[in-house]
Amino acid sequence: MSQAVGIIADIVGSREMADRAAAQRAIAEVFAEAETAVPPVRAAWATVGDEFQVVVESWQDALRVILRVQVLLPDEIQLRYGIGAGEIRTIEEGESGPIQDGAAWLHARAAIEDVEGRQQRRDEVLTGFRCDDIDLVAAVNAQLVVRDHVVARMKARERRLLAALLFGSTQQEAAQAERISQAAVSQALHRSGAMALLEADDMLAVSSDAEGPKEGF
């Protein structure tokens, strides 16, 4: 066993989808793109019950990869995310991905259940975090409530602009892609809260790098 962070992504309203297989393919493609910016320990794989799992090195990396997935997903697809930090053990390699257990997955499952409970009060809350450190849990979840609120209120273009900058584009390059001025991009990023999310993402990247790599498994 080794310390890592597991992410469970659950499709919201999957039973009402006209084409669940197409939705799963789209989600897999989005995770693959997000992982080019935030490399995982184990890339996303589909599991039973319309879920995906990912293993990353740190809770900071988990927040960073999920933000990229959120802004890349098509409007008609929504995911609920549970993040769990702790031990992960691979029992065996299955046909579609590894079969694992450990405290990280128990925490991730509990985090999803927490999100479902909070959604009764705030339906834009889609991400939850659990680990053994209750102070860290409170701090991370407070950040996630605000971040989910900001992302949920973004217009489609604002999400595209945020995605472009998260993947390394400049404001000028994003402006050219959207056929608008650089000033309009800057205004949209500030108005939507995207600039704050970009700054937070940079801070998470620095924090994750400072912690160093975890032991492989």
pLDDT at 162 over 50: yes
Query: Which range of residues forms the domain containing residue 114?
Result: 2-132
Q: Assign residue 46 the CATH number of its domain.
A: 3.30.70.1230
Q: Assess if residue 207 is contained within a domain.
A: no
Q: Assess if residue 176 is contained within a domain.
A: no
pLDDT at 217 over 50: no
Residue 212's pLDDT band (boundaries 50, 70, 90)?
Answer: low
What is the mean pLDDT of the segment spanning 198-207? 96
3-state SS record for the chain = CEEEEEEEEEECCHHHCCCHHHHHHHHHHHHHHHHHHCCCCEEEEEECCCEEEEEECCHHHHHHHHHHHHHHCCCCCCEEEEEEEEEEEEEEECCCCEEEECHHHHHHHHHHHHHHHHCCCCCCCCEEEECCCHHHHHHHHHHHHHHHHHHHCCCHHHHHHHHHHHCCCCHHHHHHHHCCCHHHHHHHHHHHCHHHHHHHHHHHHHHHHHHCCCCCC
The contacts of residue 1 (CB under 8 Å, 6+ apart) are: 87, 88, 89, 102, 217
What is the mean pLDDT of the segment spanning 115-132? 87
What is the mean pLDDT of the segment spanning 196-201? 97
Q: Domain total for the chain?
A: 1
pLDDT at 185 over 50: yes
pLDDT of residue 215: 47
Residue 104's pLDDT band (boundaries 50, 70, 90)?
Answer: very high
Q: Assess if residue 166 is contained within a domain.
A: no
